[in-house]
C-alpha cells in the first residue's frame, strides 16, 4: 500500500470515530434531558399531591369551622339559589343540605312577620343585599321550619363580591327566641313596676300639694322649702316612671295608633304653650314657622305631640339663658319635615352615635342639667319609627343642635292596640 493511501485510511477512520463520539454524546445528553424531565415530572406530581393534600386539609378545617358555628350559615348564588348551608342551619330550618342545594332560599325558609304574614322575597335581607351590595341586619321576622313551626331570627346578610360583581350572598342567622323572651320579661317587669309606682307617687303629689296649699295649717318658710323640695323630687320620679311606662308600652307593640286629620302648626303651638313657663324662666326666644298652606295630616296627635315635647324640652334644657329655639315645619316631596333647632351646648362628636340609646346622656348635658333620664330621644325615635317616619340630627360641641323628623304626608297607618301613651 502506498504511503498516501495509508494516510487517507487513518484520516477517514479518525473522522468516523469523531462522528461516532458526537452521536454517542448527543444521545447521552438527550438521555440526561429525558431523565431530568422525568425527574421534574415526578417532582411536579409530588408537588401537586402536596397541594391537593393541603387543599383537602384546608377544606376539612373549613368544614369543621362552618359546622361547629352556633349560627346558621347559608350561601346562595346571585339568583338566591342555595349553594351551601351548614349543620346549624340544617338543624334550625329542618332541611338537609342535599335537599336544598339549587333551590331558592326564600322558598326553603319562608319568612313571616309576627302575625304570620309572609314577607315578600324582595323585602328579605338576602335578596336586598343582592340589590344594594351592602351588608344588611334584620331581626324583625320569623323563619318557618320544615314542620311549619316558627322561630324569631336575627340575620346578617353580606354580598359576595368577585371581580367587582356581586356573585352571591352569605347570610349568618341565629334563633333569638331566648333574647325575645328576656326582652319581653324585662318589658313586663318595667311595665308592672312603673304601673305600681304611679299610685304611691300620685298620693305623695296630692299630699304635698295640700301641705303647700296650707290645708293642714300654715307652713313656716323652712317647712315650705322642704315641702317644695319633696314636690320637685317627686315630680322627677313621676316623669321617669311615665317615660319607662311609655317605653314599655311602645316596645310591647300594644300601643294604639289613632290617626286624625291634624294641623301640625296648631299642635306644636299647644306643646310650646305648655312649656311657656320653662321658656320664660330661661329668657329663651322661641319662633315657630309653618309652611303656609300645609294640609292637615292624618296623624295620632297624642304620639306626635310627645315627640315635639321631648325635642323642645331638650332644647330648653341644653340652651343657656337668653338662647334661641326655632321650630320649622315644611314639606319635602312626600313627607312633612319638622325641625327643632337651638343654639345651645350641642352634642359632642364622640356622644353623637349614642344619643338615641336608652339612658344615655352626654357628659356636657349632665354637667349643664342634672335633671334628665336619657329616655326622651329613645321614646321620640320609637314613636317616629312606629309611625313610618325617621328622625336624625345635626350638631357639634358648642354649635347648637337641630333635630329633624319626618312623617309620611299620607299619614300614619291606624293600629288597633290596647294602650295609649301617658
Ligand atoms: P335627657 O334629656 O333626659 O338626658 P334624652 O334622651 O332626651 O335624655 O337626650 C339624650 C341626650 O342627648 C341628652 O342627655 C343630651 O346629651 C343629648 N341631647 C339631646 N337633645 C339635645 C340638645 N338639644 N342639645 C344638646 N344635647 C342634646
DSSP conformation letters of 144-169: EPTTS-EEEEEEEEEEEEETTEEEEE
Ligand 1 binding pocket includes 362 (Cβ within 6 Å): yes
Residues 267 and 353 in one domain: yes
Determine, yes or no, domain membership for 420: no
Query: Is the pLDDT confidence value at 350 over 50?
Result: yes
Q: Is 112 inside any structural domain?
A: yes
- For 375-403, the pLDDT digits (tens) are 999 999 999 998 889 999 999 888 899 99
CA of 395 to the centre of ligand 1 (A): 11
How high is the pLDDT of residue 108? 96
19 pLDDT higher than 70: no
If one counts the domains in the chain, the total is 4
Atom of ligand 1 nearest to the CA of 346: 25
Q: Are residues 281 and 165 in the same domain?
A: no
In a domain, 366, yes or no: yes
Contact residues for 139 (Cβ-Cβ < 8 A; gap 6+):
152, 153, 154, 155, 176
Asked if residue 379 and residue 296 are part of one domain, the reply reads yes
Q: What is the pLDDT of residue 389?
A: 93
**32 within some domain:** yes
Ligand 1 site, residue 130, Cβ cutoff 6 A:
no
| Distance of CA 83 from the midpoint of ligand 1 (Å) | 48
Is 188 in the same domain as 89?
no
Task: Mean pLDDT check: name the lowest of 32-41, 137-146, 149-158.
Answer: 32-41
Q: What is the CATH number of the domain that holds 122?
A: 3.30.450.20
Q: Is 374 in the pocket of ligand 1 (CB under 6 A)?
A: yes
Whether 80 is in the pocket of ligand 1, judged by its Cβ within 6 Å, is: no
Full-prediction pTM beyond 0.75? no
* In a shared domain, residues 33 and 150: no
Q: Give yes or no for a contact between 345 and 319, defined as CB atoms under 8 angstroms apart.
A: yes
Tell which residue, 374, 264, 421, 238, has the closest CA to residue 328: 264
Residue 418 counted as domain residue: no
Contact indicator for 259, 414 with CB cutoff of 8 Å: yes
Please report the pLDDT score of residue 291 as a whole number: 95
Asked if residue 2 has pLDDT above 50, the reply is no
Q: Is residue 330 part of a domain?
A: yes
Q: Which residue range(s) make up the domain with 158?
A: 69-175
Does residue 101 sit in the same domain as residue 166?
A: yes
Among 204, 229, 252, identify where a domain stops. Answer: 252
Whether residue 26 is predicted with pLDDT greater than 70 in this model: the reply is no
* Same domain? 401 vs 268: yes
Asked whether residue 184 falls in the same domain as residue 158, the answer is no
**SS3 breakdown of the chain: % helix, strand, coil, rounded to 5?**
50, 20, 25
Is 70 exceeded by the pLDDT of residue 267? Answer: yes
Strands 111-112 and 72-77: unpaired
For helices 177-212 and 221-251, the axis angle rounded to 10 degrees is 150
Cβ of 168 below 6 Å from ligand 1: no
The CATH number of the domain holding residue 313 is 3.30.565.10
Domain check: are 111 and 54 in the same one? no
Q: What is the pLDDT of residues 76-109, one digit of tens each?
A: 999 999 999 999 999 999 999 999 999 999 999 9
- 203 with 319, same domain: the answer is no
Q: Which of 68, 101, 123 is the last residue of a domain?
A: 68
| Å from CA of 343 to ligand 1 middle | 14
Whether pLDDT at 20 is above 60: no
Helical segments of 213-254, H only: 221-251
The whole-number average pLDDT for the span 281-288 is 98
CA of 36 to the centre of ligand 1 (A): 79
Tell whether 315 and 295 lie within a shared domain: yes
Q: Is the pLDDT of residue 115 over 70?
A: yes
Instruction: From 234, 252, 270, give the residue that closes a domain.
Output: 252
Residue 93 lies in a domain: yes
311 lines ligand 1 (CB under 6 A): no
**322 Ramachandran zone, left/alpha/beta (phi>0; psi -120 to 50):** left
In a domain, 64, yes or no: yes
Say if residue 267 is in the same domain as residue 341. yes
Ligand 1 atom closest to the CA of 362, numbered from 1: 16
Count of other CB atoms within 10 angstroms of residue 143? 22
Q: Does the C-beta of 343 come closer than 6 Å to ligand 1? A: no
Cβ atoms < 10 Å from Cβ of 278: 13
Amino acid at each position: 500500500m502506498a504511503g498516501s493511501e495509508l494516510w487517507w485510511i487513518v484520516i477517514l477512520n479518525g473522522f468516523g470515530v469523531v462522528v461516532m463520539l458526537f452521536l454517542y454524546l448527543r444521545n447521552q445528553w438527550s438521555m440526561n434531558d429525558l431523565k431530568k424531565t422525568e425527574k421534574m415530572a415526578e417532582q411536579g406530581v409530588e408537588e401537586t399531591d402536596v397541594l391537593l393534600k393541603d387543599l383537602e386539609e384546608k377544606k376539612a378545617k373549613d368544614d369543621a369551622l362552618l359546622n361547629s358555628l352556633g349560627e346558621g350559615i347559608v350561601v346562595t348564588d346571585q339568583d338566591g339559589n342555595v349553594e351551601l348551608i351548614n349543620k346549624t342551619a340544617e338543624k334550625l330550618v329542618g332541611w338537609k343540605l342535599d335537599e336544598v342545594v339549587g333551590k331558592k332560599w326564600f322558598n326553603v325558609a319562608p319568612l313571616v312577620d309576627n302575625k304570620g304574614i309572609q314577607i315578600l322575597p324582595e323585602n328579605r335581607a338576602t335578596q336586598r343585599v343582592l340589590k344594594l351590595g351592602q351588608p344588611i341586619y334584620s331581626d324583625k321576622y320569623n323563619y318557618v321550619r320544615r314542620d311549619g313551626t316558627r322561630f324569631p331570627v336575627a340575620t346578617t346578610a353580606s354580598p359576595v363580591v368577585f371581580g367587582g360583581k356581586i356573585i352571591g350572598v352569605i347570610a349568618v342567622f341565629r334563633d333569638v327566641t331566648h333574647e325575645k323572651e328576656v326582652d319581653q320579661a324585662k318589658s313586663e317587669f318595667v311595665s308592672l313596676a312603673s304601673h305600681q309606682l304611679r299610685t304611691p307617687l300620685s298620693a305623695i303629689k296630692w299630699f304635698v300639694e295640700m301641705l303647700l296649699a296650707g290645708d293642714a295649717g300654715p307652713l313656716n318658710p323652712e317647712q315650705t322649702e322642704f315641702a317644695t323640695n319633696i314636690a320637685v323630687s317627686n315630680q322627677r320620679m313621676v316623669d321617669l316612671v311615665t317615660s319607662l311606662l311609655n317605653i314599655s308600652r311602645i316596645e310591647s307593640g300594644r300601643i294604639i295608633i289613632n290617626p286624625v286629620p291634624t294641623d301640625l302648626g296648631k299642635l306644636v303651638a299647644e306643646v310650646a304653650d305648655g312649656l311657656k313657663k320653662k321658656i320664660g324662666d330661661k329668657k329663651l326666644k322661641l319662633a315657630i314657622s309653618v309652611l303656609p298652606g300645609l294640609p292637615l295630616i292624618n296623624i295620632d296627635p297624642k304620639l306626635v305631640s310627645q315627640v315635639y315635647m321631648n325635642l323642645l324640652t331638650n332644647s330648653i334644657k341644653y340652651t343657656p339663658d337668653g338662647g334661641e329655639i326655632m321650630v320649622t315645619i315644611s314639606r319635602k316631596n312626600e313627607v312633612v319635615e319638622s325641625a327643632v333647632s337651638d343654639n345651645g351646648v350641642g352634642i359632642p362628636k364622640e356622644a353623637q352615635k349614642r344619643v338615641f340609646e336608652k339612658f344615655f346622656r352626654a357628659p356636657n348635658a349632665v354637667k349643664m342639667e342634672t335633671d334628665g333620664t336619657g329616655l326622651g330621644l329613645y321614646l321620640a325615635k320609637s314613636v317616629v319609627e312606629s309611625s313610618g317616619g325617621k328622625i336624625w340630627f345635626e350638631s357639634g360641641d358648642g354649635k347648637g343642635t337641630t333635630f329633624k323628623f319626618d312623617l309620611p304626608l299620607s299619614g300614619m297607618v291606624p293600629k288597633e292596640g290596647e294602650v295609649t301613651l301617658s
